[in-house]
Amino acid sequence: MRSILIIEDDPLVRKTLASQLAKKGFEITVAETGESGVRAFGEAPPDLVLLDVRLPDIDGLEVLRRIKERNRRAVILIMTAFDDMKTTVEAIKLGAYEYLVKPLNMTELDLAIDKAFQMRALEEKVSYLVEEKKKEYTIDNIIGHSAGIRSVFKLIGSVANTRANILIQGESGTGKELVAKAIHYNSPYRDEPFIVINCSAIQDTLLESELFGHVKGAFTDAVSETKGKFEIAGKGTLFLDEVGDVSPNLQSKLLRVIESRDFMKVGGEKVLKTEARIIAATNQNLKALIDKGRFREDLFYRLKVVEITLPALRERREDIPDMVDYLLEKINRDLRRHVRKVPPEVMKTLIDLPWRGNVRELENALTRAVILAKGDVVLKENLPLEPDERKAFSDELVPLEEVEKKYIQHVLSAVRGSKTRASQILQISRPTLDKKIKEFGLDLGET
Ligand SMILES: Nc1ncnc2c1ncn2[C@@H]1O[C@H](COP(=O)(O)OP(=O)(O)OP(=O)(O)O)[C@@H](O)[C@H]1O
Ligand SMILES: [Mg+2]
């Protein structure tokens, strides 16, 4: 049952409202003063508050403010006198949902209550969706139990509650952004923004204005003043992706914000403060860049107050089976497919591939295999076997005979021992093929 709290000092109005609304099936609580209204709200938050703005003790606006302080989402309808527009405007500014002019018209009241509940349902849905989004970044969604990934979990847990700057290093596709989000959404600032800026995708001068904002007229295209990401991030997280690509000029500006917490917009003169936590990521070796004079050492130390290094997928192959299951679930859900079976030999291939693009590459490969699958099974033929696997030569230099032997064996296996097909492909006669098979002691497998 929906509940309504009526805060009204006039006994006649209070009683009429209470009985009318109770008849409509609402659960009613009443309060005669502002203080007792705020208390009643605190004890059992109702779905809606009907608030008179003229109360004997504290004024209605103050009641409104206190209720909103307790719960930003409280839905409050205020009741005002017809000549009191100033209070009304003030109340709406403070977050009242709607105002009703006294004497109350019951039809109007019904309509307003109806609308308020509809809006509330909508808001609940939105906040549910936001919560769902956050769930995507809980630690549960970082798959793996290898020693490498376990130490990452530990670090996430220990830094989430701090404001320390964090540097996440790891090859492309190892989950740097995923980890950054997990840190943010597990921190006390999870309701503040998580802002991503890719430092390599944006040209230097634009990047500066993206980071710090610009004032009107700062450069030719600056037609109006803008906020930079440092400002937009508020108390949230600013994720500086590919920080290794920041130019020397911007590196010194970044260093300055990190040290002093203040900055200026491009072309601006006012000093602004930032409270954002900075998480930087890179797939480059920053130490090597420092040695080449391309990255400032002082900035490096400022960024890596805490350092998290993500292992490459091939360094934690034991995680691949779980990862495959997890990714297949996700892909099937997204594509509305049901390709979930992975035969053992396909899993073995998946475990053995080099995955230079790490989890992202695995995800792409599985997506392709799901799309191409005819039934519910992931087929080996739909996996992108690395050129390495098909490469005719290894890096080691060997006699011609050895290459010949290996290659004939390779073709025989590929055609499952069919000598006719093999001789066609190799463009040698059957007797020559037979001779080579005997000479090299090749295996025909099943025919
Ligand atoms: N441990 C993991 N568990 C589950 N999914 C993962 C894991 N690591 C990465 N992923 C998934 O792999 C994809 C790539 O991850 P992410 O974008 O975080 O990588 P990245 O390191 O930022 O890569 P890049 O350097 O290419 O930007 C994402 O879809 C992410 O959800
Ligand atoms: Mg990334």
Average pLDDT by stretches of 10, the chain with 447 residues: 94 95 95 96 94 91 92 89 78 87 90 88 70 66 89 89 94 95 91 92 88 91 90 95 94 95 94 96 93 96 95 95 96 94 94 93 94 92 69 70 88 83 88 92 71
Q: Cβ(172) to ligand 1 under 6 A?
A: yes
Choose the final residue of a domain: 292, 309, 326.
309
Question: Can you read off the two tokens belonging to residue 43?
Answer: 């004890």
Q: What is the number of the ligand 1 atom nearest to the C-alpha of 180?
A: 18
What is the per-residue pLDDT for 134?
A: 63
CA atoms within 13 A on the CB side of 279: 29
- Examine the domain organization and report whether 184 and 244 are in the same domain: yes
Q: Does residue 97 share a domain with residue 197?
A: no
Per-residue pLDDT tens digits for 144-199: 889 899 889 889 988 988 999 999 999 999 999 999 999 999 898 988 999 999 99
Residues 91 and 192 occupy one common structural domain? no
- Whole-number Å distance, alpha carbon 106 to ligand 1 midpoint, is 56
Range of the domain at 360: 313-385
- Tell me, yes or no, whether 290 and 181 share the same domain: yes
Task: Please tell me whether residues 78 and 175 are part of one structural domain.
Answer: no
pLDDT value for 191: 87
Distance from Cα 172 to the centre of ligand 2, integer Å: 7
In a domain, 163, yes or no: yes
57 within a domain of the structure (yes/no):
yes
Question: In terms of domains, do 185 and 298 share one?
Answer: yes
- CATH number, domain containing residue 267: 3.40.50.300
Domain boundary among 102, 132, 162: 132
Q: Is residue 278, in this structure, part of any structural domain at all?
A: yes
Are residues 147 and 16 both part of a single domain?
no
Distances in Å between the Cα of 356 and the Cα atoms of 151, 198, 272, 382 are 22, 21, 42, 18
Rounded CA separation 358/172 (Å): 7
Contact assessment for residue 22 and residue 65, using Cβ atoms and an 8 Å cutoff: no
- Per-residue confidence (pLDDT) for residue 424, from 0 to 100: 85
End-to-end Cα distance, the chain: 73
3 burial (CB, 10 Å; 0-12 / 13-18 / 19+) is middle
| 143 and 124 part of one domain | no
Identify the pLDDT of residue 447: 42
CB of 92 within 6 A of ligand 1: the answer is: no
- Whether 412 and 381 map to the same domain: the answer is no
Q: Which of the listed residues 174, 310, 314, 334 should we mutate to test ligand 1's pocket, taking the one with most ligand atoms within 8 A of CB?
A: 174
Residue 143, ligand 1, Cβ within 6 A:
yes
- Report, in angstroms and rounded to the nearest whole number, the Rg of the chain calculated over CA atoms: 33
> How far, in Å, is the centroid of ligand 2 from the Cα of 363?
14
Q: Which of 360, 364, 366, 367 to mutate to test the pocket of ligand 1 (most atoms within 8 A of CB)?
A: 360
* CATH number for position 415: 1.10.10
- Residue 267 Cα, ligand 1 centroid: separation in angstroms? 37
Count of structural domains within the chain: 4
Please give the pLDDT value at position 127: 66
DSSP per position, 324-382: HHHHHHHHHHHHT----B--HHHHHHHHHS--TTHHHHHHHHHHHHHHH-SSSB--GGG
Ligand 1 pocket residue status of 144, Cβ below 6 Å: yes
Dist. CA 96 → ligand 2 center (Å): 42
428 in the same domain as 364 = no
Provide the β-strand partners of residue 282.
169
Burial class (CB in 10 A: 0-12, 13-18, 19+), 326: middle
Choose among 29, 34, 86: nearest CA to 62.
Answer: 34
Within this chain, do residues 104 and 203 fall inside the same structural domain, yes or no?
Answer: no
For ligand 1, whether the C-beta of 173 sits within 6 Å is yes
Domain membership of residue 58 (yes or no) is: yes
CATH of the domain at 94: 3.40.50.2300
Q: Which of the ligands is closest to the CA of residue 145?
A: 1
Select from 132, 152, 181 the last residue of a domain.
132
For residue 395, is it within any domain? no
Q: Is residue 394 part of a domain?
A: no
Tell me whether residue 392 is in a domain.
Answer: no
Task: Please check whether residues 171 and 291 belong to one and the same domain.
Answer: yes
The per-residue pLDDT of the chain, averaged, comes to: 89
Does ligand 1 have an atom closer than 6 angstroms to the CB of 175? Answer: yes
